[in-house]
Structure 1
Amino acid sequence: MTLFSLLIVDDHKHLAESMALTIPWERYEVTRVLQAYSGTEAVEALQDGDIHILLTDIRMPGMSGLELIERAQKLAPGIDCILLTGHTQFEYAKRAVELQAIDYLVKPVRHEELLRVVETIIQRRKARLREQAELELLYETNRHLPQLRADLLAAKTDAELAVLEERDRIAGDIHDIVGHTLTATLMQIEAAKLLLARGEREGMQRLEKSQQLLRKSLDGIREAVGMIKKPDDADDLETGLQAFIEEAKHTANIAIDYRIELASPVTDPDLCKVLSHALREGVTNGIRHGGSLSFRFQLIQRGGLLRFSLWNDGTPYDGQSQGTGGLGLTAMRERIVRLGGTMRLVASAEPPGTLLELRIPLC
């Protein structure tokens, strides 16, 4: 619950004390009530503490209520003011209220009247506080939104890379299943041939065992192939790269200018995987570790050589940043070297940022 403070100012001490002590302020979330008996005392109170509402008489010796309100608005911006006025000063006070946007009450003030005005002020202040809290929340959300989007893209990329690695593992499992089954089946067939040649019934049993092994192997291969299939694979490298670029622009709210010039479609699965991984890792690490918002990507085929370049406007590469996470620099470099290519990751001076370059020969 929000708590408020009130300062009552009147040169008639008994009037100030009466309002302070006889009105149930706590019911209206006013938990701190101060009193002052002159404009000077009121200024001191305003300087010493956090006052939300000022209730002051208009006519006081030394400093009038209007003068006090002007001082209060400078000392405590946002303070709400209530002016108490007699019938003889009503028109003058009304004009002052219109100019300074303050509330006023005509003496003698009934408690119900005063509480109604105070309650209105408190509700108004609560609305302002809620609006301020909502604006602060909106500001914080907007401030963190780019990073949240970057994290989302990074998480999605990591998941897709993990799926690709899992597919490699499953492919290895298929190889192991086929290799093991064929080896065992050949041994059973060889044994069956010898037994059948001698007219022994066990030879048929060995052939039946070979049949069972082959059926079991076929079931395992079908299951593994079912796991490795991915219906939404891109038809070719260029289509896949363009799909990732558009997704990254939308997900992470980044800019990616790109240019892809291929004399013919790239169909080698290992080469497609390396280039796709390099683009994903480069963009993801640029966002994560470099705070990048803008990228420039080129994939150009010149003769028998593919030239890959990815620049970002983030923190320039220092030998450590933008190289962790996902497959990482080492794994990326090893894959490229296996294809006979080279990799270079450097800080660029003009424009400042980070540049990833790959050179891979086409077989």
Structure 2
Amino acid sequence: MGFDRNAASDQAFGHKPVLLEECLTALNIKPDGIYVDGTLGRAGHSLEIVKKLTGNGRLICLDRDETAIEAAKIRLADYLDRVTLVHSNFSRIAEVLHELDIPGVDGMLFDLGVSSPQLDEARRGFSYMHDAPLDMRMDRTAALTARDVVNDWSYEDLRRILFEYGEERYAPAIAKAIVRRRQEAAIETTGQLVGIIRAAMPPAALREKQHPAKRSFQAIRIAVNDELGELPPMLQAASDALRPGGRLAVISFHSLEDRIIKKTLQELSTGCTCPPNFPVCVCGKKPKMKLVGRKPIVAGEAELVYNPRARSAKLRVAEKI
């Protein structure tokens, strides 16, 4: 068997880019085009995008995690003449492009959610498998932490995010247990939180294949990083920044994310919204995008063998009109 340099590189950086070939196809990359990777992560997608660019092409890479920016300087070292690395949240995409004096781009990619290296770095507090301070910030300069959410948010808000963001059916019991425990002493670590969640769940739930804290940790992480609230304005800004024919590709891993992406892209691809009985259009609304495929693209069996994380991934694509 030959040596796969790309596979070795992905292993070294703790990251396997999800739906890689599908993303490259979706972006329809032009060698001299300008592209954005709005969720740099460990640069797996960025590396393959920039390889397709000539010296006149350009790739703008954003990430809210400074660790990702530093890692990308190494991984993209051979291509830094055509790469711009920006420490920023993708919600600022319009401002970033304005600051870089870029009036339009030919394609954008967003790979949502937490990256594997963030989960693996115990001290970041994302994982329920390691005991660490409650943090969960993708951007470590941000003010709000998981400790703040767990210790300061009301029972009603905790129950709501556990149910809505984590789809946790035991949300009321878990929220009640958290509030009860923090009245005794502040909850400081992921290990303490896992213990509280376990104790609040019935024995049958603890026997499920899925870790009992998975849904709650997901919910708290989404709340800390406002992952859902940022999606509609980001998608709107991205569509505004694309040149005609430019492609927008978004990978989601959560049903709520995918629902928001689907709804927003449908709205961007819809024209006149006047009632059917109006003889002529008076709203003047014209579609900005057209959907590239009605259904999301999912990973094939071959990818799932070496990258189980791709099982829940959904890729949606739209093109600027």
TM-score bin, normalised by smaller chain = under 0.3
Instruction: Specify which structure has the higher proportion of strand.
Output: 1
User: Would you tell me which structure has more helix in proportion to its own residues?
Assistant: 1
Instruction: From the CA coordinates, give the structure whose radius of gyration is larger.
Output: 1
When the two structures are superposed, what TM-score results if normalisation uses the length of structure 1? 0.19
Q: Which has the higher contact order (CA 8 A, sep 6+)?
A: 2
